[in-house]
Amino acid sequence: MYYSERYADGQTTELDLKTATWRARGAIQAEESNPEGVSEAHVQAAQAAEHAVMKRYDKNNRLSIAHASLAASRAWALNEGELIQGESQQQRQAIHAIWLRDIFGNPFRPVAFSPEWRTSTAVALAGQMYESRDFGAMPILADALQDAGCDSEDMLSHCRDENATHVRGCWVVDLVLGKG
């Protein structure tokens, strides 16, 4: 698990997060001094971590979070072979938009989550997806939520959307797990 995820889950300290930042800076410096030593994906991931932590310590630095998001999407794309060096700003923005929709949902249509929907089945499914990062069971989670009385069309359609990209931090999974 990544330091930032562990920190968000309350499983690590700010000192660990700072240590991750120092290591990220070290990876960036290693890349600069030895281009064959570290892949571009690793450098982008390191920059994402560095900027994310900078945002944590300097709440007025809005550019840090934008840079973190950009570097994270580039690292993911390079690692997955999705976008090559000629990636466009539009392609990056499309990835960011997909992730933001999955993590935050629609901020203009907030969903009220009823504790009654947090059944043992729903929690087990959400927990398994959260830990494994395999979100193939999202339609099953929708069924479990509906069986528990969930009537939120936004929530159910988000789970059942076959074209949706889900990531750790998905707003529905987090609500079921009590993280949202």
Q: How confident is the model at residue 158 (pLDDT cuts 50, 70, 90)?
A: very high
How many residues are listed for the chain in this entry? 180
Q: What is the pLDDT of residue 9?
A: 67
- 66 belongs to a structural domain: yes
Q: Which two tokens stand for residue 72?
A: 């994270």
Q: For residues 130 and 59, which has the higher predicted lDDT (pLDDT)?
A: 130
Kindly tell me if the per-residue pLDDT of 160 is higher than 80. yes
Query: pLDDT tens digit string along 120-135?
Result: 999 999 999 999 989 9
- 96 belongs to a structural domain: no
Domains in the chain, number: 2
- Residue 81 shares a structural domain with residue 141: no
- Residue 7 shares a structural domain with residue 77: yes
Q: What's the CA gap between 154 and 59, in Å, rounded?
A: 31
Domain that holds residue 148: 115-176
Give the chain's mean pLDDT: 76
- 69 belongs to a structural domain: yes
Kindly tell me if the per-residue pLDDT of 87 is higher than 70. no
- Residue 8 shares a structural domain with residue 71: yes
Query: pLDDT tens digit string along 10-52?
Result: 677 777 767 776 776 676 676 666 656 556 665 666 666 666 5
Q: What is the pLDDT of residue 168?
A: 85
Domain boundary among 87, 103, 133: 87
- 99 belongs to a structural domain: no
Q: How confident is the model at residue 99 (pLDDT cuts 50, 70, 90)?
A: confident
- Residue 125 shares a structural domain with residue 75: no
Q: What's the CA gap between 25 and 83, in Å, rounded?
A: 24
- Highest mean pLDDT: which range of 23-37, 105-119, 143-157: 143-157
- 12 belongs to a structural domain: yes
- 24 belongs to a structural domain: yes
Q: What is the 3-state secondary structure (H, E, C) of the chain?
A: CCHHHHHHCCCCCHHHHHHHHHHHHHHHHHHHHCCCCCCHHHHHHHHHHHHHHHHHHCCCCHHHHHHHHHHHHHHHHHHHCCCCCCCCHHHHHHHHHHHHHHHHCCCCCCCCCCHHHCCHHHHHHHHHHHHHCCCCCHHHHHHHHHHCCCCCHHHHHHHHCCCCCCCCCCHHHHHHCCCC
Under a CB-based contact definition with an 8 Å cutoff, are residues 35 and 66 in contact?
Answer: no
- Residue 9 shares a structural domain with residue 82: yes
Q: What's the CA gap between 105 and 108, in Å, rounded?
A: 9
- 165 belongs to a structural domain: yes
- Full-model pTM: 0.59
- 104 belongs to a structural domain: no
- Residue 148 shares a structural domain with residue 75: no
